[in-house]
Structure 1
């Protein structure tokens, strides 16, 4: 099965700490069994990719990365100085080369064998079908580990970094523990019927009761007690990755949920979530096409949604002919 990439427009408002209205564009990985290769016919000259083995998941991510001009710019600034070791195993180096090939205006698909084999040497095997979100996070981790310029590696990670405050309230003594952490995606669980992006996000930020085996240690009580856990957004990145978790473990087996998950062309985070949660130049499909990926028919189900912040859209470099 192959994944086809789409790029749409979305509107999001941050919470009360960031009052300004932000624009986002949506990257969406679409599952389709009707294509053997990914084609891109754009003024920027981005080339398609052949599907080798089960590389369709990686192909989709390469198209996403190529459309993320900030990432390409950061990798272009990176000049390895002998600290990359075996270059055939260096993921950021091979990614840089693959993205450069994809930006050329050649009509044939871009060569990306070296990148695929590089992932294979780092135990993302070509012979195994992977989850797009798993590979996405692995590639970001490899950038942190394998780039000799740690500042640039941090800037790349910051493109996707979501700052989150977790608060845990003990149900016995009402004491509250808070800590700050970060995510590189927003993991959303779905119900086994009809879902929407709005309802999934609302559920993510609702208080969860932790009981029985899920009880947490309370320092004030000195023991594990029932508690309530919640999350709040502290900041959102330029590229917001949303992971639609369509898989469940059932009796020792992994089961895919093909139920319908809708998402709008425009989405106002502030209006939908409220205080408590706190570039349209690259369109490759119509909104009608994208709506076929909601799921419910055992194919064409979206797994990852990526939103691009266009607050500084004017900074995007113009593509020359």
Structure 2
């Protein structure tokens, strides 16, 4: 998959290189959940039928982050994660449109005449709730009307599981209430975070449970504070473990920003400075303050055993 950065207005040089007949899925696609996947799979299928490139157009940063409104609380899939997932879905080209305040004021008509048609998008594939242009004035019918005979539009209906529509906002809520089972079902995979192992307080090593302290690589949606059964990708190997997301109230007071500490089972290598991907598989319990370090050690041991059973 080739990644192409776009900024409005598009340059003639860029259009000469990338303006070609193609089928394009358009949307924010944060989370790349099963609903988003249904849109992208439709675009890839149509592109193969029409014997043209399959592309995806997304927007970065997230419009809610730029406009400072709505319920933006971080990304389910930051850009690097989104790129990795899309590359495995048969997408040929990923267009990343730079979203800023000026671009937010571009009308639906200008988006069509200055972006979509010059790129020679012959078929646009969008979700049922697609909105575009200044203040979200454009929708699927607007897209169809403006495209006329030059651009066909395919609208993908809501994706439902057990009668419930899959949505990014519901996945965020599931993560923030500890409902990992539901979040994983809607995503079609376990929720992942990625971070770099940094020097921590090294307290875990002194109590028999050494941990990798992660500094997240991007602004992720933070799951509810507590203990999780996880699998971590270290180098080329997946390793089971237990992770605490929280402020360590047994040792600290007044801390607001959570830390991410992963204890990997049967693992004793030094991995400072390395990038680690962590999949959250099960929520074990909420974080709480213990009356003594011994009580904490006992509970961590219980958590580790629980995680091992849950992970099989």
Q: What TM-score, normalized by structure 1, do the two folds share? A: 0.24
Q: What TM-score, normalized by structure 2, do the two folds share? A: 0.25
Q: Which structure has the larger Rg over C-alpha atoms?
A: 2
Q: Which has the higher contact order (CA 8 A, sep 6+)?
A: 1
